[in-house]
Amino acid sequence: MSQAGNEFNNTEPAPQIPFQQDQPISEPARMGPGGRLIGTLLSPGETFQDINRKPTFLVPMIIGILSYTAFLTFVSVWVKPDWKEIVRVQATRTSERFGTPPPTDQDIQRGVAFTKYGSIGSGLIVIPIWYFLAAGVLALGMLLMQAKTTYKKILSVFGWVSCSVGLVYSLVAIAAIAVHDTESLRTMDFSNLASIIPTNLAQLLSSDASPVLKAVASSLDVFSIWQVALLIIGLAAIAGTKRITKSSTAALVIGLWVLIIVIKVGFAAIGLGAR
């Protein structure tokens, strides 16, 4: 009996299962903000893999706000727009379109204050809202495709694509305005920048072309197409599953792009688009 007890007590303990973490430790980013900014444009594959390892969205959002604000400040200082005339023309056009009373001097003064000073500070509101909203729509699309990713990664991809392409666009726009006759720009509707920046098909249209045609042509812009292509690559890189390829993300991104163009054309058809 004691021998059996000793054998029972001497039984070897069960082998220990190696400790496993529930979640793997995330890899650190290999690129800094400057590397990601340039890499998004020149080496997107490598850059989006780095974003997949360590997503960030605050830095690209700040770059986007600074780029947007710097461009509007340049327009205000270099062109010195006649804000009163710009607001008067836009308000009169809206009044005639919808049959509302014509704008009063007080209405125009309020419009000037909002347009002149509010537009420069609007980047602090417009850019974050646009980034979060657009990333939310893309995240919904990726969810429906059963991607194994996170909203933060999608927001990071959208942020870096938007700020990098937007920065180049701002530089091109500044160059185009700098070589243009500033006198003719002082009363220009700056929602119609496509008419002076030679990167879209609106340049091929005559000045009396229909607003709908202008809306379609201005949407076919080099920078818009560039941004669409980068988003397709970026979303495929962070999808988290091989089932989602660039073809899958292309259907999502191009579909949303076409929807935006349709909405833009709709606004132009009812007189709310740029002319």
In a domain, 140, yes or no: yes
In a domain, 191, yes or no: yes
In a domain, 32, yes or no: no
pLDDT for residue 183 is more than 70: yes
Burial class, 227, CB count within 10 angstroms (exposed 0-12 / middle 13-18 / buried 19+)? buried
In whole numbers, what is the pLDDT of the chain averaged over residues? 84
In a domain, 185, yes or no: yes
pLDDT for residue 207 is more than 80: no
- pLDDT on residue 51: 96
CA–CA dist 77, 239 (Å, integer): 44
Which has the closest alpha carbon to 252: 133, 140, 128, 129? 140
* Highest-confidence segment of 28-37, 71-80, 155-164: 155-164
Instruction: Tell me the mean pLDDT in the region 242-269.
Output: 93
In a domain, 275, yes or no: no
- pLDDT on residue 275: 57
In a domain, 80, yes or no: yes
The answer for 210, left when phi > 0, alpha when psi is -120 to 50, beta otherwise, is beta
Write the pLDDT tens digit of every residue in 136-149: 999 999 999 999 99
Write the pLDDT tens digit of every residue in 3-46: 444 444 554 544 443 433 334 445 677 889 999 999 999 999 99
- pLDDT on residue 17: 39
In a domain, 274, yes or no: no
Type of residue at 7 = E
pLDDT for residue 2 is more than 50: no
The residue segments making up the domain with residue 122 are 55-269
- pLDDT on residue 194: 73
In a domain, 96, yes or no: yes
What residues contact residue 158 under an 8 Å CB cut-off, 6+ apart?
Answer: 131, 134, 135, 138, 231, 234
- pLDDT on residue 43: 95
For the chain, what is the domain count?
1
Write the pLDDT tens digit of every residue in 114-131: 777 667 777 889 999 999
